[in-house]
Amino acid sequence: MASFISHTELVAEEIIPTIDFGLLLNGTPDERSDMVQALAKACEDWGFFMVVNHGMPDQLRDEMLEAFKTLFDLSNDEKRPYVGGHVLDPIRIGTGFNSKIDIGKCWRHYAKIFVHPEFHSVPKPLNFRNISQEYSKCTRAIGLELLKAIWEGLGIDESRVKEALKLDSCFQILVANLYPPYPNSGTTFGFLPHSDHGLVTLLYQNGVDGLQIKHKDRWMYVKPAPNSILVNTGDHLEILSNGKYKSVLHRAELNSEVARMSVVTVIGPALDAIVEPIPDLVNEASPAVFRGMKYRDYLEQQQSNSLVEKGALNLVRL
């Protein structure tokens, strides 16, 4: 794995596509249309972009990071009810990717909580429920608004796709990753290369860089602009768009000096939606490359198996 590192290049924050959320929401028709095109290009060329002017208060982000940190710091007895469960349990705390199968491969603690359509929370710390509820609501609104602009950029009818994916009951999971300092970060990763299962993923970090994306066959460090939200496209956008928007491969490097934390929220279709390429994007010249599968089944399989890059997509590839 050390050889990956020597090929890793820094992506300056100016190069990563930047989406001005304020213009998507409140711009003139021309400004919005330009931003929709910029978003379409970012999804097609990168599968990754930074969102600025998103309106999410910095304080809410900081409170969410702090609340997760307090959760990780609870005693083992307090965390035990959430350790070692099934991948579809609404609250899970563990280490590695899936603590049951890959102990030692990822130097990471995680907490995963399902927050929509049913909201779940832990009882401690006491402020966790309010903060995570507000944080989930805010990030879900941003994610769904981005998806609306993505449908527009793909030229597909919003109401049809909303219905097909049952987006009113969209699945949302809140994940915190805590990567303790690790002395030899050249050979062990915090998170091995993978793509995310949902439609889009929104990520905030605690000011410590470490996320890397694979862009045009090269690993690149990501350096986000201050207060921006990092967004990547997931497997279900790849399936829905019939491969036009590929989910981006990413991984997390460790830091030898300080702990890194990220709070990630994945927004996907409803768990019982059967997702297949949207018919508008399938034709003779571009036949379907994926078959339909229930999102819940995909999620279960992807989360239950050791992470091998984008291997989960083979479950549905024709």
Ligand X SMILES: O=C(O)CCC(=O)C(=O)O
Strands (E), the chain: 9-11, 18-20, 48-52, 91-95, 109-116, 171-179, 189-194, 200-205, 211-215, 218-222, 229-233, 250-253, 260-268, 274-275, 293-294
Among positions 183-202, residues that touch Fe ion (CB under 5 A) are: 196
Q: Report what 211 binds from Fe ion, ligand X, none; CB cut-off 5-8 Å by kind.
A: ligand X
CA dist 36 and 12 (Å) reads 23
CB of 9 to Fe ion, least distance (A): 20
Among 147, 252, 312, 313, binds ligand X (CB under 6 A): 252
What is the Cα–Cα distance from 118 to 164, expressed in whole angstroms? 20
Judged by beta carbon distances under 5 to 8 A according to partner kind, the member of ligand X, Fe ion, none in contact with residue 185 is none
235 binds Fe ion (CB under 5 A): no
CA of residue 178 relative to chain centroid, distance: 15
Is 214 among the residues that bind ligand X (CB under 6 A)? no
Of 141-200, binders to ligand X (CB under 6 A) are 175, 177, 191, 196
Q: Which stretch binds ligand X (CB under 6 A): 96-104, 142-150, 203-211, 287-295?
A: 203-211
Would you say 39 and 153 are in contact if contact means Cβ atoms under 8 Å apart?
A: yes
Tell me the closest approach of the beta carbon of residue 146 to ligand X, in angstroms.
17
| Long-range CB pairs of 152-161, under 8 A, 24+ apart, other chains included | 152/36, 153/36, 153/37, 153/39, 153/40, 153/43, 154/40, 154/241, 154/244, 154/245, 154/278, 154/281, 155/280, 156/278, 156/280, 156/281, 157/280, 160/278, 161/240, 161/278
- Contact (CB, 8 A) for 163 and 274: no
Least distance in angstroms from the C-beta of 159 to ligand X? 30
Q: Which is nearer to ligand X, 210 or 268 (CB)?
A: 210
Contact of residue 312 among Fe ion, ligand X, none (CB under 5-8 Å per partner type):
none
**Is the CB of residue 62 less than 8 Å from the CB of residue 135?**
no
Q: Which residue is nearest to Fe ion (CB)?
A: 196
Which one, 228 or 262, has the nearer CB to ligand X? Answer: 262
Query: Judged by CB under 6 A, does residue 211 bind ligand X?
Result: yes
Name the minimum Å distance from CB 77 to Fe ion. 30
> Interface residues with Fe ion (CB under 5 A)?
196
> Interface residues with ligand X (CB under 6 A)?
175, 177, 191, 196, 203, 210-211, 250, 252, 262, 264
